[in-house]
Amino acid sequence: MNNTSVYQKSREDILEIGEKYGLSLNKLENLLEPDRIVEITIPIQIGSETITFKGYRSQHSNLLGPYKGGLRFHPSVTKDEVKALSLWMTLKAAIIGVPLGGGKGGVAVDPKVLTEAQIEEISREYVRKVYDVIGHDKDIPAPDVNTNSKIMDWMTDEYIKIAEKKNPETANHKHFATFTGKGKKGLAGRIEATGFGGVSILKELSKKLKLKPSETTIAVMGFGNVGFYFAKLAEELGFQVVAVSDSKGGIVKKTADGKFLPLDIDLVYECKQEKGSLNGCYCSGGVCDTRGGQLITNEELLSLPVDILVPSALEDVINDNNMQNVKSGVIIEMANGPVSPKAHHFLTSKKTIIVPDILANSGGIAGSYLEWMQNLENKVYEKDVVLKKIDEMMIKAFDAVWNESEKAKTNLREASYLVALKKLLI
């Protein structure tokens, strides 16, 4: 992520939309500034020396409920980055209609060069340092880049140890609601929640545009958790997922005369698990081999003449250098900010329909909300109940944004901001 100005870009973007639609700029200015940014240091013994890592927690807004947002471990984590991401979380929570605010955190560290014991110590020390500002009714972290359910379990365990010393009378089950994305007392269906939510949007958009799944081709850039579940669930609904990629490149399947053929998503995933990347994974019938497929670069995937393009990996992958190559009539943003502002303006002027990230990938916060609720209620929600509730929330959010876009005669991105801001500028 371009950390030097990502928050400033987001801020200017929202102020521009606010001015265009006559929203109170004073209220907007107040809303855009985070309530609090906590900066911490985490000293860890590595070999014979002590290395100190910087950590952050940005609590953007709790107007609608406790702060909520992911916690990432990555060398590029900065104060500016978490500030921007916490703002986006505030908007996502407002759009999806859950009683939560926006937060985001991170530690500037590369976990890939650390031992598991060192990662656990960083995780626990982070909790010790931010303990006073998190809690089930204050701020609820979740997994993000390079963090997972195991890390959330360590953090929850550390939080409970401190909480039980300080407040032994507090009900234990509520402590578990301080983190989501956990293994212990986690949510059934949470792993696929973001991709599932994106496919809920795909279904509703297809109805509006009168697209038939069997005649609709999709290319998915990014075959991690979100991209895989989006592709798999779209395939199950009959959509033609004809290309997927990861950081090393991707695959597309065509006939000799250039007609797209659907991939077998489970087979592609198995091959990626075996080889470590999609590089060299071609699928024909029941076997992944070198027949019937074609290796492509990520840039080539973005320029395929498919009906729907789904960027699910990095920010700014569609930008002023390649925006003229995009041929898809629909883009569903499953990554954070995959279409740059300039590219968005260019593509929407060509009537490309772009479903923005703050709507399309908000299935994650819907899932986090349900995990938080089940922990507060000391219950266990069944997976089918979870997915049904996420689907209902996504459909309601999509309808609100679609209706706002028609009412304001604008694109879905501006409509998404308007839906969120009207809830927040009270």
Please report which confidence band the pLDDT of residue 2 belongs to, taking 50, 70 and 90 as the band edges.
very low
- Specify whether 239 is located in the same domain as 326: yes
Name which residue leads in pLDDT, 276 or 163.
Answer: 163
Tens digit of each residue's pLDDT (9 = 90 or more) over 121-147: 999 999 999 999 999 999 999 999 899
- Specify whether 144 is located in the same domain as 250: no
**Position 70, amino acid:** G
- Specify whether 139 is located in the same domain as 224: no
Is 310 contained in some domain? Answer: yes
CATH value at residue 165 = 3.40.50.10860
Is 104 annotated as catalytic?
A: yes
Model pLDDT, residue 104? 97
| Alpha carbons 270 and 264: distance in angstroms, whole number | 10
Name which residue leads in pLDDT, 5 or 385.
Answer: 385
Tens digit of each residue's pLDDT (9 = 90 or more) over 172-215: 789 999 999 999 999 999 999 999 999 999 999 999 999 999 99
Model pLDDT, residue 288? 47
Quote the mean pLDDT of the chain.
92
Is 396 contained in some domain? Answer: no
CATH value at residue 209 = 3.40.50.720
Please report which confidence band the pLDDT of residue 410 belongs to, taking 50, 70 and 90 as the band edges.
very high
Nearest to 332 by CA among 145, 189, 206: 206
Please report which confidence band the pLDDT of residue 148 belongs to, taking 50, 70 and 90 as the band edges.
very high
Nearest to 223 by CA among 198, 251, 203: 251
- Specify whether 210 is located in the same domain as 281: yes
- Specify whether 105 is located in the same domain as 152: yes
The mean pLDDT of 18-42, rounded to a whole number, is: 95
Tens digit of each residue's pLDDT (9 = 90 or more) over 362-379: 999 999 999 999 999 999
Three-class SS of residue 23? coil
Is 391 contained in some domain? Answer: no
Model pLDDT, residue 241? 96
Domain closes at, from 178, 203, 218: 178
Domain closes at, from 312, 334, 360: 360
Q: Is residue 9 classed exposed, middle or buried when 0-12, 13-18 and 19+ CB atoms within 10 A define those classes?
A: middle
Which residues touch 333 (CB under 8 Å, ≥6 apart)?
311, 339, 354, 355, 356, 357, 360, 361
Selecting among 83, 104, 203, 272, the annotated active-site residue is 104
Eight-class DSSP state of 229: H
Model pLDDT, residue 26? 94
- Specify whether 174 is located in the same domain as 200: no
Alpha helices, DSSP H, located in 259-362: 265-275, 298-302, 341-349, 357-360
Model pLDDT, residue 122? 98
Model pLDDT, residue 301? 96
Q: Does pLDDT of 4 surpass 70?
A: no
- Specify whether 233 is located in the same domain as 335: yes
- Specify whether 210 is located in the same domain as 351: yes
Is 411 contained in some domain? Answer: no
> Which value, to the nearest 10 degrees, does the dihedral of the CA atoms of residues 173, 178, 179, 185 take?
0
- Specify whether 213 is located in the same domain as 116: no
| Alpha carbons 324 and 334: distance in angstroms, whole number | 21
- Specify whether 213 is located in the same domain as 342: yes
Name which residue leads in pLDDT, 283 or 326.
Answer: 326
Q: Distances from the Cα of 415 to the Cαs of 22, 41, 91, 227, 266, in angstroms?
A: 14, 40, 12, 25, 35
What is the percent of the chain with per-residue pLDDT over 90, rounded to a whole number? Answer: 81
Domain closes at, from 311, 330, 360: 360
| Alpha carbons 144 and 149: distance in angstroms, whole number | 10
- Specify whether 158 is located in the same domain as 58: yes
Model pLDDT, residue 302? 96
| Alpha carbons 83 and 58: distance in angstroms, whole number | 6
Eight-class DSSP state of 333: -
The mean pLDDT of 154-169, rounded to a whole number, is: 91
The mean pLDDT of 42-53, rounded to a whole number, is: 93
Model pLDDT, residue 55? 98
Tens digit of each residue's pLDDT (9 = 90 or more) over 269-320: 988 888 888 876 754 444 444 345 688 899 999 999 999 999 998 888 999 9
Is 239 contained in some domain? Answer: yes
Tens digit of each residue's pLDDT (9 = 90 or more) over 88-120: 999 999 999 999 999 999 999 999 999 999 999
Is 88 contained in some domain? Answer: yes
Q: Does pLDDT of 1 surpass 60?
A: no
Model pLDDT, residue 232? 98
| Alpha carbons 25 and 18: distance in angstroms, whole number | 7
| Alpha carbons 323 and 348: distance in angstroms, whole number | 11
Is 202 contained in some domain? Answer: yes
Number of domains in the chain: 2
Tens digit of each residue's pLDDT (9 = 90 or more) over 59-82: 999 999 999 999 999 999 999 999
122-139 b/e (C-beta count within 10 Å ≥ 16 → b): bbbbbbebbeeebbbeeb
The mean pLDDT of 154-181, rounded to a whole number, is: 90
- Specify whether 171 is located in the same domain as 200: no
Tens digit of each residue's pLDDT (9 = 90 or more) over 329-352: 999 999 988 999 899 999 999 999
Domain that holds residue 206: 193-360
